[in-house]
Amino acid sequence: MVKPRPLCPLNKRTFCLSHRRLDFHFDTHHFVQRLEREGLNRAQAEGIMSAMAEVIDESIRNMTSNMVTKAEQEKLQYTQQVDFAQIKSELQLMEKNDLAMLKAENDRLMVDIEKLKQRLREEITRTQAGVRLDLNLEKGRMREESSRQELKIKEVDTKIEQEIAGLRTAIQTSKATTLQYLVGFVTGCSALLMAYLRFRV
């Protein structure tokens, strides 16, 4: 059982302890009377009531100690608003920096792409020039080969014409020789015939 503490005179709402003042948060007089009806004497009832009052008061003080005042709450809210504004400003700054970095990266990529396009155009131009040069060289070689073939054909034609001319000359010579031979043969035969006829006469 809780040992009672020295009390000041009891009124309906408040008990006063000798070592400190407690503000009770319930009807202490009614509570003491109820304890007395349960069979406790007045000293015991007041002791229990006093102990419970201290426990309740301590609990309330512990609860209120963890609470903040309106000024502290406003200060905390202001601090949170300031922190939020600072965070928002930092986020906006980070966003701007990120956008700037992205824009710079995009610009760099565009420059690289333009350089790549320029290199590709130059490479295509060089390739086309090389192909044109090869085609021109091939055309030149084909023209030279055609010229050589035409020259050979002309040489063959000339040789053929020369051979034909030689054959014609040989034929004409052979004809003349044969004609001379025939004329001589006929002349000889005629002379023999005339001699034979003269001999018979």
pTM of this prediction? 0.35
Q: Count the residues in the chain.
A: 201
Cα separation of 35 and 47, whole Å?
Answer: 11
pLDDT bucket at 112, cuts 50 / 70 / 90: very high
Phi-psi region of 77 (alpha: psi -120 to 50; beta: other; left: phi over 0): alpha
Residue 54: pLDDT over 90: no
Which residue would you say has higher pLDDT here, 193 or 115?
A: 115
Residue 113: pLDDT over 90: yes
Cα separation of 8 and 21, whole Å?
Answer: 10
And the tokens for 196? 């034979």
| Cβ atoms 62, 72 nearer than 8 A | no
